[in-house]
Amino acid sequence: MLLIKACVLLLTLLAVLPVAAFETTQVVTSSSESYQQYTAATCILIDSEMQDKTPNSARYLELKRQHTRHCQAPLTAKHAARVLGNANTPKSINIFDFIEDNSQDEPQARAQYESARPTVSATKRMPEARTNILYPLLVTILPWFILLLVFSLLLGVMGRYFKKHAARRRGQAGEKRIEKRLKSCFAKGECRIFTNLVLSTDSGSLTEVDLVLLCRSGVFVIESKNYRGWIFGDPKRATWTQVLHKRRSQFQNPLHQNYKHCLAIAHCLGLATGIESLVVFSDQVTFKTQMPANVVQEVGLVSYIRSFKHEVFTAAEFNRHGERLADVQLLSDKAAKRRHLDELNMRRKEPKMSAID
């Protein structure tokens, strides 16, 4: 989704800031007629001679009239050669060929030269007069935009990576606290603790159990939830709700989740009774709904287990179950956990069955 938004933004930027330059034209017109434009050098000479003349003299007025008419858009040397040059025109053009001393003879002189020169239209295109205001802006902004786009993509990927692994580390921290509490409250011969067991259910699928506490009073299958905030839950609903800093999030009902773990332990040990499901939240949560007895905080974990006083296993059964779980512990290596994760990913990618009419 982030990549799609970035591409749309890039296309919008390219549409708003066009790269193509455009040409402008300059029109030299008068209310009554159009005049042939002199070269820049000719106009400079006219202006220089005007400075040497008396403003009220006839010569000054003639030069001023010539400058007003023919020096509005002076031609470059190259353009003048193209406009004025032909087989009958000499390569060198004298400025005084254009400027007549007697203003009365100007129409005849102009007619004489106009007959030898091609007619120039009123509209003249400035040579290669390209202007583009937005192009430099685009060249400046585009590299920074691409850099920002790449940075945003990397930030999004890294954010999802760290978020995923941060949640895993929080879960592992909660399991370590529970394990440490159990070891400090129960003697080594009284109970045995097994962590992160990868087991196969009777259907053949794999599941991972956070903690298993084996006692003479039963096998306690513990699901650890290192959450914070308010917890709303109903044993019969598929999802529960966590509220943290006014943010609500849904998670799977841990009792339903742990039910599959209990089935896997029962299948592994060949037991039909003596399996106890136990969900343990951190002490940083507050239950906002009535929870069943087997959903406790860490502070109430030991007291709940000690409430089971009746022994359901003999010493031989206790040792046999312990050896079986120890073997499973050895087999629950990284390869087994990887197979379990791959199975979960394949299960999430499977299409859901749609209703058949």
What's the mean per-residue pLDDT of the chain? 76
Whether residue 177 lies inside any domain: the answer is no
Are residue 288 and residue 207 in the same domain, yes or no?
A: yes
Count of domains observed in the chain? 2
Q: Note the Cα 91 to chain centre separation in Å.
A: 66
pTM score of the predicted model: 0.55
pLDDT in the model for residue 84:
53
Claim to verify: residue 230 and residue 112 sit in the same structural domain:
no
Judged against a pLDDT cut of 80, whether residue 116 lies above it is answered with: no
Asked whether the predicted pLDDT for residue 356 surpasses 90, the reply is no
Residues 75 and 194 reside in one and the same domain: no
Q: How far, in Å, CA of 182 to CA of 191, rounded?
A: 9
pLDDT digits (tens, 9 = 90+) for 297-346: 999 999 999 999 999 999 999 999 999 999 998 888 878 778 777 776 67
CA distance linking residue 173 with residue 175, whole number of Å: 5
In whole angstroms, give the CA distance from residue 354 to residue 207: 26
154 within domain boundaries? no
Last-in-domain residue among 110, 130, 150: 130
The per-residue pLDDT for 161 is 62
Do strands 218-225 and 130-131 pair parallel, antiparallel, or not at all (unpaired)? unpaired
Phi/psi for 269 (5° steps) reads -95, -10
CA distance 117 to 111: 10
> Given this model, what pLDDT does residue 80 score?
56
pLDDT of residue 13: 55
- Examine residue 354 and state whether it is found in any structural domain, yes or no: no
Check the CA dihedral 35-40-44-45 and report its sign.
negative
293-301 contacts: CB < 8 A, separation 24 or more? Answer: 294/255, 295/233, 295/254, 295/255, 298/177, 298/178, 298/181, 301/178, 301/181, 301/182
Q: Are strands 191-200 and 206-215 parallel, antiparallel or unpaired?
A: antiparallel
Domain extent for 41: 22-130
Choose the final residue of a domain: 109, 130, 151.
Answer: 130
